[in-house]
Amino acid sequence: MNSFVEEEKNGAFCRFVFGRDEVAALRRDIEAASRVQAVSAVIWAAAIRIARDKNVVDGGGCHFAAMTVNLRPRMKPALPEQVMGSLAKLPVLAAWPVEMSEDEKNDGCYYYGAVAGKLRESLEMVTDEKMRNAVLGSSDQFWDALRYSVEKFAGGNLLTISSWCRFPFYEVDFGLGKPAWMCFFTMCYNLVVLLDAEDGEGIEAWVTLSEEDMSKFEKDIGVLKYATCSKSVGVCGFSNPS
């Protein structure tokens, strides 16, 4: 399960809608700190189950989730919202063991809560001090840490999650009125992009997987419980961008 397509083949690209009531119920069930963390937990848990069913145990015995973090409000003083560039965001890794614990087998809500907690723990590690050390510290130290991360999950089970929630897409008006619907497209496998639903409370998850994995993802117990799938996106051919 690699992030980028290495050869031309078909992949499935589907939209999963977590409605307002479902997101609220999910947050109550697992005591998640935010909508994004709650929905991300269900999606990552489903990806982990798929990998376990396929008996994939690469990546040093762990499953990984990479989440893009907005650095602007985490800096001291905070950076202006208009700041752009690669330093305005940072990928953060969270790891989950391959072996299933007894708690996971017996309690689905515990599982989602633990997964959400792992995501939250990783995000909370992104502090002003650590970011400044990474950017302003020794270049060798920075690249050594990056190299270690790449080697750790290379060839393993990596799911990339990017949240575009709270971006005011539905407030943009270039003179023809505000958009009726915001959508997304990508050429990468194992990528999830989260967008606000039109009501601002639900979340649309745009998920790209291989056809085989998507057929299992659509039937996952957590996905079925909390989301509905739109079949309007369908299947498309992906190839290596290079």
**Tens of pLDDT along 109-125?**
557 888 888 888 888 87
Contacts for 103 with CB less than 8 Å, ≥ 6 apart: 110, 111, 114
Q: Residue 222: what pLDDT? A: 87
Q: Decide if pLDDT at 142 tops 80.
A: no
Average pLDDT for residues 17-38, to the nearest whole number?
88
d(CA 189, CA 208): 5
Residue 89's closest CA among 42, 36, 134? 134
More confident residue, 138 or 131: 131
Rg of the chain on CA atoms, in Å: 18
Q: Residue 3: what pLDDT? A: 37
Of the listed ranges 63-67, 156-160, 209-213, the least confidently predicted one is 156-160
Mean pLDDT of the chain: 75
More confident residue, 93 or 86: 93
Q: Residue 1: what pLDDT? A: 41
**CATH 3.30.559.10 is right for the domain spanning 9-238:** yes
Confidence of residue 168 (pLDDT cuts 50, 70, 90): confident
Exposure pattern of 215-235 as b/e (b: 16+ CB <10 Å)?
ebbbebebbeebbebeeebee
Cβ pair 136, 142 in contact under 8 A: no
Which of 25-34, 55-64, 82-91, 224-233 has the highest average model confidence (pLDDT)?
Answer: 25-34
Q: Residue 143: what pLDDT? A: 63
Please write the tens of the pLDDT for every residue from 32-86. 678 999 999 999 989 888 887 776 554 456 778 888 887 777 778 877 777 776 6
Q: Decide if pLDDT at 140 tops 70.
A: no
| Percentage of residues of the chain with pLDDT beyond 70 | 68
Look at strands 203-210 and 9-18 and give their pairing: antiparallel
Query: How many CB atoms neighbour CB 82 within 10 A?
Result: 7
Write the Ramachandran bin of 177: left for phi over 0, alpha for psi from -120 to 50, otherwise beta. left
Of the listed ranges 3-17, 24-38, 168-182, 221-235, the least confidently predicted one is 3-17
More confident residue, 126 or 41: 41
| Percentage of residues of the chain with pLDDT beyond 90 | 17
